Amino acid sequence: MSAVLNTIELVARVIVSFARFVVVASGIALTVVTTSNVVARYALSSGGFSFAQELPMLIFPWFVLAGIVLAAHRQGHMAVEWLYDKLAGRARYAAFAIAAAVSTISFLTLSYEAVLVAEIAGIERSPVLQLPNSLGYYSLAAGALLVGIVTIAAALRVLRFGWEYRVELNTGETPL
């Protein structure tokens, strides 16, 4: 059982590292594309880059969903902190396990449904870049799947090792 927990914890750490990378990389990409387009509007007679209207719409979902994965890892997404403070012992663990189960099932269902919608949306293409419109739905599917995995990892860690192993939400600024 310990090997399974270690593996799940390792997978969660890899997911968190990947999510941090996606937040930073997509944030930089969004800033560069938007800034370049603003400069191009004034510098070029064409009035900017035609692709710069589509690119942020393709990048932004990845940026947001990677942030949601990070929040889920810190148990700050859909948190019910006030309830945990009112409970103790087995009742606290039961509430935590139920919240984790509901969240995991919800996000895994969302991931599955997003893939189904992506298959439909993939028929359409963006006007300039000719990329499939399914990309945003796939980002939703991937993000929801990763949230489900980090939620399982957090729940198993707490249920196995105790409440003190829970990564608590800090309402201050959280560095990536």
pLDDT in tens, 105-141: 999 999 999 999 999 998 999 888 898 989 989 999 9
Percentage of the chain lying above the pLDDT 90 cut: 49
Residue 15 pLDDT: 95
The span from the CA of 141 to the CA of 35, in Å, is 29
Q: What is the pLDDT of residues 138-173, one digit of tens each?
A: 999 999 999 999 999 989 988 888 888 787 656 555
Measured on CA atoms in the order 138, 141, 146, 149, is the torsion positive or negative? negative
Alpha helices (H) in 44-134, listed in sequence order: 55-73, 81-86, 89-121
162 C-beta neighbours (distance < 10 Å), count: 10
Residues 6+ apart with CB under 8 A from 92: 84, 163
pTM: 0.82
Least-confidence region, from 69-73, 90-94, 110-114, 116-120: 69-73
Residue 141: the pLDDT is 96
- What pLDDT, in 10s, does the model give residues 26-60? 999 999 999 998 998 888 887 778 888 888 888 99
d(CA 136, CA 1): 37
What is the domain partition of the chain in residue ranges? 2-165
Tokens, residue 60: 């932004």
pLDDT band at 23 (very low <50, low <70, confident <90, very high): very high
